[in-house]
């Protein structure tokens, strides 16, 4: 898998990271794209990382507010969590051109920022939704089918955290039959955080 590129980030707070993100080379490639930084409660101890904002997220400046976000809210609700009990961000802080999933190369560039983000939030558990974010965080090329449902510890910029990879809600909207497996992953996640 592509190794995370080295970026010398200075941010020591979330506000600083948000500001610093706008100055990065990856941001410069999307000159007019608004930043979609995060939503929810950074003190909740529970972090959720998606792939990239879509059109509605870009419009509102908040992650997971479109159709996939509505399903994510229902999935979280099923384990008793609302938006104030989680902190949500994405691997990409910008909507990719053409709504693509971030490429492996982009993921390598985005990962240092995500690592710093995780280190500042210090979650006690992290739910990675979708192959792109799970692969980036676990630094693997294995597909989501193979890696979902199993806790794996990562170290993000000095902060150790267990990661539960699961399916992306946009995928579950297309393949509702997979909700059974996603439900198992959510229960495992819920057991660890409660
Ligand atoms: N899909 C994602 O991965 N993230 C969002 O914020 C919205 C849709």
- Any domain includes 4: no
Q: What is the CATH number of the domain that holds 110?
A: 3.40.470.10
Nearest to 102 by CA among 54, 157, 161: 54
Which atom of ligand 1 lies closest to the CA of 168? 3
Q: What is the pLDDT of residue 28?
A: 80
- Any domain includes 173: yes
Q: What is the Å distance from ligand 1's center to 93 Cα?
A: 10
Q: What is the pLDDT of residue 2?
A: 66
Q: What is the pLDDT of residue 145?
A: 97
**How many structural domains comprise the chain?**
1
- Any domain includes 62: yes
- Any domain includes 3: no
- Any domain includes 67: yes
Q: What is the pLDDT of residue 100?
A: 81
Range of the domain at 125: 14-193
| Cα of 62 vs its chain's centroid, Å | 13
Handedness of CA 15, 16, 19, 20 (dihedral sign): negative
CA 194 to CA 187: how far, in whole Å?
10
Contact 46, 84 (CB under 8 A): no
Which atom of ligand 1 lies closest to the CA of 170? 1
- Any domain includes 1: no
- Any domain includes 5: no
* Structure token pair of residue 112: 């240092």
> Is the CB–ligand 1 distance for residue 52 below 6 Å?
yes
Q: What is the Å distance from ligand 1's center to 188 Cα?
A: 22
Q: What is the pLDDT of residue 33?
A: 87
> Is the CB–ligand 1 distance for residue 54 below 6 Å?
yes
CA-to-CA dists, residue 28 to 3, 11, 25, 107, 155, angstroms: 21, 18, 5, 16, 28
* Structure token pair of residue 49: 């990382």
153 DSSP β-pair partners: 162
Region of residue 4 (left: phi > 0; alpha: psi -120 to 50; beta: else): beta
Residues in the chain with pLDDT values less than 50: none
> Is the CB–ligand 1 distance for residue 123 below 6 Å?
no
CA 183 to CA 194: how far, in whole Å?
16
Terminal CA-CA length for the chain: 33
Q: What is the Å distance from ligand 1's center to 9 Cα?
A: 24
Pairing relationship of beta strands 87-90 and 46-50 according to DSSP bridges: parallel
> Is the CB–ligand 1 distance for residue 63 below 6 Å?
yes
* pTM given for the model: 0.96
- Any domain includes 47: yes
Residues 6+ apart with CB under 8 A from 129: 48, 49, 50, 51, 72, 166, 167, 168, 169
């Amino acid at each position: 898998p592509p190794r995370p590129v080295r970026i010398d980030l200075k941010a020591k707070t979330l506000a600083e990271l948000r500001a610093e993100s706008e100055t990065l080379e990856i941001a410069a490639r999307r000159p007019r794209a608004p930043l979609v930084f995060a939503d929810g409660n950074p003190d909740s101890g529970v972090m959720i990382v998606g792939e990239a904002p879509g059109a509605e997220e870009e419009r509102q400046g908040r992650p997971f507010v479109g159709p996939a976000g509505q399903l994510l809210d229902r999935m979280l609700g099923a384990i008793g969590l609302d938006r104030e009990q989680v902190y949500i961000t994405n691997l990409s802080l910008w909507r990719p051109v053409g709504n693509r999933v971030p490429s492996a190369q982009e993921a390598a560039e985005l990962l240092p920022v995500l690592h710093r983000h995780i280190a500042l939030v210090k979650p006690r558990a992290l739910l990675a939704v979708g192959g792109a974010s799970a692969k980036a965080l676990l630094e693997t090329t294995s597909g989501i089918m193979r890696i979902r449902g199993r806790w794996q510890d990562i170290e993000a910029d000095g902060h150790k955290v267990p990661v539960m990879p699961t399916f992306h809600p946009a995928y579950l909207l297309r393949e509702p039959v997979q909700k059974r497996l996603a439900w198992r992953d959510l229960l495992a996640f819920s057991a660890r955080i409660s």
